[in-house]
Amino acid sequence: MKRNLCALALIAISSPVFAEGFASKDEIQRAMGDHTYQGGMLTGSFSEYYAADGTIKGDGYTGTWRATDEGMCFAYGTDPENCWNLKIDGNVVTLFKDSAVDGAGVIVKGNPNSY
């Protein structure tokens, strides 16, 4: 029964109707700047610090981030920039790509991992 409820919840939050109401540029800047994201995406779990100046610091890597009217964009090394829509509820962040959930985690003030 628990698995069925979890599956239903994932289907519900993946629907385009749930995808409405993404965070604005200002909301993303306030929530993510000088915070660390701890969570995962479909590719695996990770944590990284988003400095207020747009720098990303992770475990052995760096990059840049920026907030836009369409979401949060990330660039690492020579890879092209990628952007996601965000829903932010307190310290919980859900990332959406093409209106489907692509990751989720929590944000913590500062850089507790000293990246």
pLDDT in tens, 71-114: 999 999 999 999 999 999 999 999 999 989 999 999 999 999 99
- pLDDT recorded at residue 20: 66
Q: Are 63 and 77 in contact (CB under 8 A)?
A: yes
Non-local (6+) Cβ contacts of 54 within 8 A are 64, 65, 66
Question: Which residue has 């109401």 as its token pair?
Answer: 21
Assigned CATH class of 2-109 = mainly beta
Strand partners, 58: 61
Average pLDDT over residues 9-16: 42
Q: Are 25 and 69 in contact (CB under 8 A)?
A: yes
